[in-house]
Amino acid sequence: MKSRHSARTADAGVRHELFGGLIRLHILHHAAKKPFYGLWLIEELAHHGYRLSPGTLYPLLHRLERQGYLRSAKARAAQRGRRLYRATPFGRKALAAARGKVRELFGELFEK
């Protein structure tokens, strides 16, 4: 018999796995609209129920940057280490392609 703790841990792992793609798309969506700071994004994602720590978000942003979806630059006259993230042309193109796939999938998920 599984304990409640192990069941919660397993449930959190499943949610993390399933929601990871949605979080990346959410990041690209905002990066395509306007440049943002990591702390702003943590607060924005929290409004949608995603609780990410800086230790989770920043490696994700760095990975998206290495993959060519985002670009970052040190903000002028900013506090130490403050970076602005924005979508690259490749990231915008990927987001546009994902929108069509998300629309199709959500249509199926919410069929009556």
The DSSP annotation for 34-96 comes to S-B-HHHHHHHHHHTT----HHHHHHHHHHHHHTTSEEEEEPTTPSTT-EEEEE-HHHHHHHH
Domains of the chain and CATH, by start: 21-109 (1.10.10.10)
Output 19 or 40, whichever has higher pLDDT: 40
pLDDT in tens, 82-102: 899 999 999 999 999 999 888
Give me the mean pLDDT over the 14-35 stretch.
85
How far apart, in whole angstroms, are the C-alpha atoms of residue 39 and residue 75?
Answer: 14
User: Which residues 6+ apart lie within 8 Å of 68 measured at CB?
Assistant: 88, 90, 91
Rounded CA-CA distance 65/28 in Å is: 11
Global confidence as pTM: 0.77
Cross-strand partners of 84: 73
Q: Mean pLDDT of all residues in the chain?
A: 84
Tens of pLDDT, residues 49-78:
888 899 999 999 999 999 999 999 988 765
Given a cut of 80, whether residue 37 has pLDDT beyond it is: yes
DSSP label at residue 110:
T
